[in-house]
Amino acid sequence: MKISAKHTSAFAFAAMLLTATTLAGGANAQEAEGLVVYNAQHESLTNGWVEGFTKETGIKVTVRKGSDMQFANQLIQEGSASPADVFLTENSPAMSLVDGAGLFAAVDKDTLDQVPEQYRPADGMWTGIAARTTVFAYDKTKLTEDKLPKSMVDLQDAAWKGRWGAAPAGADFQAIVAAFLQLKGEEATKTWLKGLKDNATAYKGNSVAMKAVNAGEVEGAIIYHYYWFGDQAKTGENSKNVALHYFKNEDPGAFVSVSGGGVLKSSKHPKEAQAFLKWVAGKGGQAVLKDGDSFEYAINGDANAKLVPLADLHAPKVEASTLDSKKVVELMTAAGLL
């Protein structure tokens, strides 16, 4: 067994926690928790990461549950008093918000070196850890290929009135709108959002939207790909009538969203927090994506073999670090969607 300096310090850290707990009789709850991760990623995926990391390093991790924007706003409120060591999101706009508030520590260079440039911001204050693609999940009993929208923009047309759905309140969908805004500009986004308001049914979450397609309530829904793959890997009962349409062609509907990870500047365990992020973005964490049941894309190394390869998605070029979540909320609120 290879024991690097990093492992030695990791074990020392674990031992320190044990000592703190023993001596203080649990009074020092903060220390006893180990690393605190504000987790907005899907719980089962993060649990997989934590399990693997703790097994390898002995470092304990406490996962707190929340959503992208909820945690981003909480971190901004808490400032340097935050108990969080690490922040993990489903999408990048929340990372940009926290980065903009100056709350992240620079990510270690050897972590960044593991991640291809297109999956991390140029400032190196956070990094992509997984990716997900936008799809049109459609009722294959009703729609044939020739009847599918060529572009996500088409869904704003009157021809699609009452025929599609989305989950506009969620961070997943708002990241798609943020990409649309960056690619097409404000006027086009307003028009598309009006189309969404006029034509689509709003569901509470991507799974609910997919179920609605499966049940024949609507002919299609804009969601992320892994909801379908996840259901197929289980019983398939919520997706048996559903197929995925990939817009490709650098369409806004082919947007690939980057799930992010960052270390808080205020972390009391910066070394261990950096080690966790390195693990997640590295071989161990990426293997959880490749071999597990999250069906999100690895951004470093091979993706799950069941997925359409990232390179074949022909995603539009989007600068993740400048996705404007504030403007999106403003535009969606004005459109009566939030």
Residues that bind Fe ion (CB under 5 A): 172
CA angle 90, 95, 98 (to 5 degrees): 140
Residue 144: CB minimum distance to Fe ion, A = 28
Residue 257: CB minimum distance to Fe ion, A = 9
Position with the least CB separation from Fe ion: 172
- Closer Cβ to Fe ion, 273 or 310, answer by number: 310
- Closer Cβ to Fe ion, 172 or 231, answer by number: 172
Residue 271: CB minimum distance to Fe ion, A = 31
- Closer Cβ to Fe ion, 21 or 207, answer by number: 207
* Backbone dihedral angles phi then psi of residue 201, each to the nearest 5 degrees: -100, 135
Residue 226: CB minimum distance to Fe ion, A = 7
- Closer Cβ to Fe ion, 124 or 205, answer by number: 205
Residue 61: CB minimum distance to Fe ion, A = 21
Are 263 and 105 within 8 A, CB to CB?
yes
Residue 72: CB minimum distance to Fe ion, A = 16
- Closer Cβ to Fe ion, 172 or 272, answer by number: 172
Residue 92: CB minimum distance to Fe ion, A = 13
